[in-house]
Amino acid sequence: MEVSVLDEADQMCDMGFMPQVSELLDQVHPDGQTLLFSATLDGDVDRLVRKYMNNPRTHSVDPPVSQVTTMEHHLLKVLPRDKNRIVAQIAAREGRTILFVRSKYRADTISEQLVQAGVPCASLHGGKTQSVRTRTLAKFREGRIQALVATDVAARGIHVDGIDLVVNIDLPTGHKDYLHRGGRTARAGSSGAVVSLVAPNQRRMARRLLSDAGVEAKQHLVNPGDELLTEVTGAKEPSWEPWIEPPEPERLRRGRGGPRRGGYRGGGPRGGYRGDRPRGERRGEGGGFRDGDRRGGFRGDNRRGDRYDAASRY
């Protein structure tokens, strides 16, 4: 083993993978090359540097805490009762938008509710198979969906051209996650904006988060349908008619002349195992934004361990 590359080095350490990482790096030849990559290199990364690297060189595109000149930051103060409608109006805007939430359950629920509101949308998180995530990103890149509701799994290492707005529906847990989320827009000199939605009892936490990230954000008090909301985010009223995804174009199997067929059961329109929709992608169940959702949705019930402030349920 002559070369080792550790991508998202700080995240690997923060998530408790130091023993596994160390075990792998122990197998690299002492004279081999080791490279660590991340938007932020701090914390336990120093231990890796001291143990495995000799006179390392640091290469940086931007400082670890950076104010990208082509990126705007906004703090939108919203009332909990208005948050769901404001999210729907922002998601219905023209252009590609990524909306970040804390949990897989939240991502699926909010995505389904946006679809019911008429927004071409899908969710992306670590609970989906690699093939589903690949297809979802392809739809997003090709413009077949305009909004992506994602957990922090999408904040690192994923590049899609033309994302001009990142929305923090749920605030990230730390300033590094804020920077990684925001890094999905204003890439390679393009312009973009990062918008964070905060309830009254979250404002102090939000200001501290932005301060730690070295970011100065404009603060606005907004209500659904405000001109200011449209000016900052491009928000518009959705159709409130459920969006029905058009069928995917037929793809030819490599090396064969016909379209993909079946699996063992072959009973569905797309056939076999490929035709089964993975869990979490069923649409049209439960309520929407206006009718309520038995599974919690924006009002944030505590299923699957999600914790929310009782004063800011949404």
pLDDT of residue 270 exceeding 50: no
Identity of residue 133? R
Confidence of residue 251 (pLDDT cuts 50, 70, 90): low
Report pLDDT for 294. Answer: 38
Beta partners for residue 76, in sequence order: 197, 220
In this structure, what token pair is assigned to residue 213?
Answer: 């990230």
Confidence of residue 309 (pLDDT cuts 50, 70, 90): very low
pLDDT digits (tens, 9 = 90+) for 19-39: 888 898 888 888 888 998 876
Tell me the C-alpha distance between 198 and 255, whole Å. 52
Report pLDDT for 69. Answer: 57
CA atoms lying within 13 Å on the CB side of residue 304: 12
Domain boundaries, the chain: 3-52, 71-241
| Backbone conformation region of residue 225, classed left if phi is above 0, alpha if psi is from -120 to 50, else beta | left
In this structure, what token pair is assigned to residue 137?
Answer: 């990103």
Report pLDDT for 67. Answer: 54
CATH topology of domain 71-241: Rossmann fold (3.40.50)
Highest-scoring range by mean pLDDT, 17-21, 58-62, 111-115, 186-190:
111-115
Largest CA distance in the chain: 64
Is 185 in contact with 71 (CB distance < 8 Å)?
yes
Report pLDDT for 63. Answer: 53
Pairing of strands 121-124, 96-100: unpaired
Q: Which long-range contacts (CB under 8 A, 24 or more apart) does 208-216 make?
A: 209/171, 209/172, 209/174, 209/175, 209/178, 210/73, 210/75, 210/175, 210/178, 212/174, 212/175, 213/65, 213/175, 213/178, 213/179, 214/65, 214/66, 214/67, 215/67, 215/73, 215/178, 216/67, 216/73
Q: Model's pTM, two decimal places?
A: 0.68
Report pLDDT for 312. Answer: 35
Report the mean per-residue pLDDT for the chain: 78
pLDDT digits (tens, 9 = 90+) for 53-83: 888 888 877 654 445 556 789 999 999 999 9
pLDDT of residue 7 exceeding 60: yes
pLDDT digits (tens, 9 = 90+) for 215-224: 889 999 999 9
Is 163 in contact with 138 (CB distance < 8 Å)?
no
Tell me the C-alpha distance between 88 and 97, whole Å. 12
**Of 161 and 221, which is predicted with more confidence?**
221
Of 12, 52, 45, residue with least CA distance to 28? 52
Confidence of residue 122 (pLDDT cuts 50, 70, 90): very high
Report pLDDT for 187. Answer: 61
In this structure, what token pair is assigned to residue 191?
Answer: 């312009």
Tell me the C-alpha distance between 196 and 175, whole Å. 13
Q: Which residues contact 161 (CB under 8 A, 6 or more apart)?
A: 141, 187
In this structure, what token pair is assigned to residue 53?
Answer: 């690297």
Q: Which residues contact 242 (CB under 8 A, 6 or more apart)?
A: 115, 116, 117, 118, 283, 284
